[in-house]
Chains A and B, each alone.
Chain A
């Protein structure tokens, strides 16, 4: 099965860029997602990328996919205190049913 690994913690200053990294084992994942979870809340879909893409930009968010190294990253430009949350990388396939496999999450702390 798929394994998804992330670093546990990242601290950045307000206004700086944040880069959250993720590695995955299953190259058959069709979609790769980034979700945000604030304390006590459910998961908010931030963005996703198809496995045949290398990069996707969506306002302050940039997703980079390196299929050779099975590495996914999320860059948040001009990080704000409201970006403080846990960020989950996840991989999903479309074979029969879509099981989404999540990483353990990276806690982003934004220092004012």
Chain B
């Protein structure tokens, strides 16, 4: 059974650019959640995808968007990058309708915005 994987590991962008981060869910998991973890903080919930639809969203602006594919992998897209978007972005997968089961996290993508 493979765990949650994320790519890339690290990424450097400049303010105003757009970025796409990718996540492959754990085998057997149909729900993916994305979190932003700023330095020295706990992770903050961005949104969750279930059956290719956004199933819930935290307090993040619309320039944060996502996709989930039929194989349950997912992308996080961030447009018009700001300096405060610099963070570790974590993906978590879970099984069960709407992700009511325990979430398992990937290693994260470290995004730096200059």
Contacts and interface: CB of A to CB of B under 8 A. Distances in A.
A42 B105 contact: yes
Interface in A22-70: 31, 33, 35, 41-45, 48
Contacts of A97: 48, 50, 55-56, 98-99
B105 A98 contact: no
Interface in A81-108: 88, 90, 92, 94, 96-105
A110 interface: no
Given A42-B107, A97-B48, A97-B55, A102 B43 contact: yes
Interface in B50-109: 50, 55-56, 58, 90, 92, 94, 98-108
Interface of A: 4, 31, 33, 35, 41-45, 48, 88, 90, 92, 94, 96-105
Interface of B: 4, 6, 31, 33, 35, 40-45, 48, 50, 55-56, 58, 90, 92, 94, 98-108
